[in-house]
């Protein structure tokens, strides 16, 4: 019962305060075969994951509702929507990262999609977690940059990344997501994570291009509170067993 009363945001804050690190497995509905979901869920349930994120830059198939319904039935992990646009809202999930792409200057991803999503979200019980989303240059063009038509921030320009994260915190974001992009060649630099973690109070999510357990631990050591793993688990569901 107590579990139900604490929001996912509160749980993330508590984990941060206790120094407990969190791990999300990202499932992109376009890459999931529902018939094979049971096997995948066994792997997820045996993994150290604390959250399941669901979403993608573009979701073209229409299995989102089915996928989230099955996730809710077959795991006890919180299911959090990580949307590419307002079409990716399902009332069956527990929460949604209400993202604003702070690194870009495309008004659609700064406020237009949020305006479109607000009335839809009001009709659901989803926990809405405002999240600053910062795309960092990672060596190859990523789907986020392509779809949002924005440029990532230069990975050498840590001052600009820090100012962006601080502005996002001042605007009231509850989480800050440092994103290298799915399948990124280079993950977010550890020094950058460290600098941001030392200079903002809100929990930090780090994802994109993390391909081994070492990479996860390094991100935690640098100050990430929650790490997101997508591609590496998609390619190898035994990823966490090594």
Q: Is 99 in the site for ligand 1GP (CB under 6 A)?
A: no
Nearer to ligand 1GP, 54 or 202 (CB): 54
* Secondary-structure breakdown of the chain: helix, strand, coil percentages, each rounded to the nearest 5: 45, 20, 40
| Cα–Cα distance measured from residue 220 to residue 238, given in angstroms and rounded to the nearest whole number | 21
Closest-CA residue to 188 (of 228, 131, 237, 234): 228
Encoding tokens for residue 80? 């959090």
- Piece in contact with ligand 1GP (CB under 6 A), picked from 39-47, 93-101, 152-160, 228-236: 228-236
Q: Which whole-number Å values give the CA distances from 196 to 98, 118, 211, in the listed order?
A: 20, 29, 22
Closer Cβ to ligand 1GP, 180 or 202, answer by number? 180
**Contacting ligand 1GP (CB under 6 A), which of 12, 13, 25, 26?**
26
Interface pick for ligand 1GP out of 85, 137, 169, 179 (rule CB under 6 A): 179
Give me the least distance between CB of 181 and ligand 1GP, in Å please. 6
Please tell me whether residue 101 binds ligand 1GP under the rule CB under 6 A: no
The tokens for 102 are: 């702070």
Q: How far is the CB of 143 from ligand 1GP (least distance, A)?
A: 8
Q: Within 10 Å of residue 117's Cβ, how many Cβ atoms?
A: 20
The 3-class SS string of 57-84 reads CCCCCCCHHHHHHHHHHHCCCCEEECCC
Q: Tell me whether residue 144 or residue 197 sits nearer to ligand 1GP (CB atom).
A: 144
- Told to check if 208 binds ligand 1GP by CB under 6 A, we report yes
Binding site for ligand 1GP (CB under 6 A): 26, 179, 182-184, 207-210, 228-232
């Amino acid at each position: 019962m107590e579990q139900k009363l604490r929001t996912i945001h509160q749980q993330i804050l508590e984990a941060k305060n206790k120094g407990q690190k969190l791990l999300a497995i990202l499932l992109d509905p376009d890459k999931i075969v529902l018939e094979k979901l049971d096997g995948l869920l066994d792997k997820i349930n045996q993994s150290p994951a604390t959250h399941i994120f669901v979403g993608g830059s573009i979701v073209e198939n229409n299995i989102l509702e089915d996928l989230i319904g099955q996730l809710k039935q077959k795991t006890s992990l919180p299911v959090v929507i990580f949307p590419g646009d307002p079409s990716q809202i399902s009332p069956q999930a527990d929460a949604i990262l209400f993202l604003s792409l702070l690194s870009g200057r495309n008004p659609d991803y700064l406020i237009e999609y949020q305006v479109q999503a607000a009335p839809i979200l009001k009709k659901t019980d989803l926990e809405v977690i405002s999240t600053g989303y910062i795309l960092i240059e990672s060596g190859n063009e990523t789907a986020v940059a392509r779809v949002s038509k924005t440029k990532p921030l230069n990975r050498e320009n840590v001052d600009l990344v820090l100012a962006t994260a601080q502005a996002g915190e001042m605007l009231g974001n509850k989480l800050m997501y440092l994103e290298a992009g799915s399948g990124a060649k280079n993950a977010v630099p550890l020094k950058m994570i460290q600098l941001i973690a030392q200079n903002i109070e809100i929990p930090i999510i780090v994802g994109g291009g993390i391909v081994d357990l070492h990479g996860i631990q390094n991100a935690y050591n640098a100050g990430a509170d929650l790490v997101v793993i997508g591609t590496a688990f998609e390619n190898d569901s035994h990823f966490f067993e090594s």
